[in-house]
Amino acid sequence: MSRDIVGTWDVSLSDGVYRIEFEHGSTTGKRVIYINGKEVLRRDWMFKLVGKETFAVGSTDTKATISIEAITGFSYEYTLEINGKSLQTFLDNRSKMSRTWVLKLGGADYRIVLEKDTMDVWCNGRKMETMGEFTEDGSETHFTVEKKECCIKATSSGRKRNGIVHSLLVDGIRIEEAIE
């Protein structure tokens, strides 16, 4: 089965990283959207070749929209918006609003995300049970992964500009933040 993939985007959300693929048949108007290889939307015959398709991504039902615009003749431009913002703006804002760590425990990979505005902690797509406490120099959010004691410490950087520093400790060992 040949697929006419015209756009591929990787979107990092709290509950995981999603690969969005868009198939567009410029003769039939066919539109198919795949998330992580699974078909989530299909329109086989579209008389209008340009327009928008809106769909939900992830367990938090994040709103995504693919826009199809004609550039010249039979060539098209495809753009992805997340929550009404361009993908780049969304990802830039997201990197300000969250922290991500990737680690290996017992041979398995874990992706831990802290949402700084809500202090929610996600691990491999699941929102974690956490216990927060205030300390002398900030706060600590405790949770467990694979029977390991995990703690995200929030401490002041001492500089107004970067404000609060978040660090993840697993059994007391500091984990480097991931670049996504």
Summarize pLDDT for 22-31 with one digit per residue, the tens: 999 877 789 9
Kindly state the tokens that stand for 35. 């998330």
Of residues 160 and 105, which shows the higher confidence score?
105
* Residues 76 and 104 reside in one and the same domain: no
Q: Are residues 14 and 60 in contact, defined by beta-carbon separation less than 8 angstroms? A: yes
Phi, psi dihedrals of residue 93, rounded to the nearest 5°: -65, -40
* Residues 48 and 106 reside in one and the same domain: no
* Residues 42 and 78 reside in one and the same domain: yes
pTM score of the predicted model? 0.85
Name the nearest CA neighbour of 81 among 64, 62, 57: 64
* Residues 103 and 54 reside in one and the same domain: no
**CA dist 8 → 121, 151, 163 (Å):** 28, 35, 35
* Domain endpoint, select from 83, 110, 143: 83
Sequence-distant (≥ 6) Cβ neighbours of residue 160 within 8 angstroms? none
* Residues 59 and 102 reside in one and the same domain: no
Tell me the β-bridge partners of 163. none
* Residues 132 and 68 reside in one and the same domain: no
* Residues 79 and 101 reside in one and the same domain: no
pLDDT > 70? residue 1 = no
Sequence-distant (≥ 6) Cβ neighbours of residue 134 within 8 angstroms? none
Range name among 57-61, 72-76, 97-101 with the lowest pLDDT average = 72-76
**Could you tell me if residue 57 is inside a domain?**
yes
AA letter at 43: R
Interstrand relation of 5-13 and 173-175 (parallel, antiparallel or unpaired): unpaired
* Residues 75 and 122 reside in one and the same domain: no
Q: Are residues 58 and 16 in contact, defined by beta-carbon separation less than 8 angstroms? A: yes
**Could you tell me if residue 89 is inside a domain?**
no
Q: How many domains does the chain contain in total?
A: 2
* Domain endpoint, select from 20, 49, 83: 83
Q: Are residues 74 and 26 in contact, defined by beta-carbon separation less than 8 angstroms? A: yes
pLDDT > 60? residue 81 = yes
Structural domain for 67, as ranges: 5-83
What CATH number is associated with residue 130? 2.40.128.180
* Residues 117 and 148 reside in one and the same domain: yes
**Could you tell me if residue 91 is inside a domain?**
no
**Could you tell me if residue 104 is inside a domain?**
yes
* Residues 161 and 137 reside in one and the same domain: yes
* Domain endpoint, select from 54, 83, 112: 83
* Residues 140 and 77 reside in one and the same domain: no
Q: How far apart are CA 53 and CA 30, in angstroms?
A: 12
Kindly report the average pLDDT of the chain as a whole number.
92
The pLDDT value recorded for residue 2 is: 59
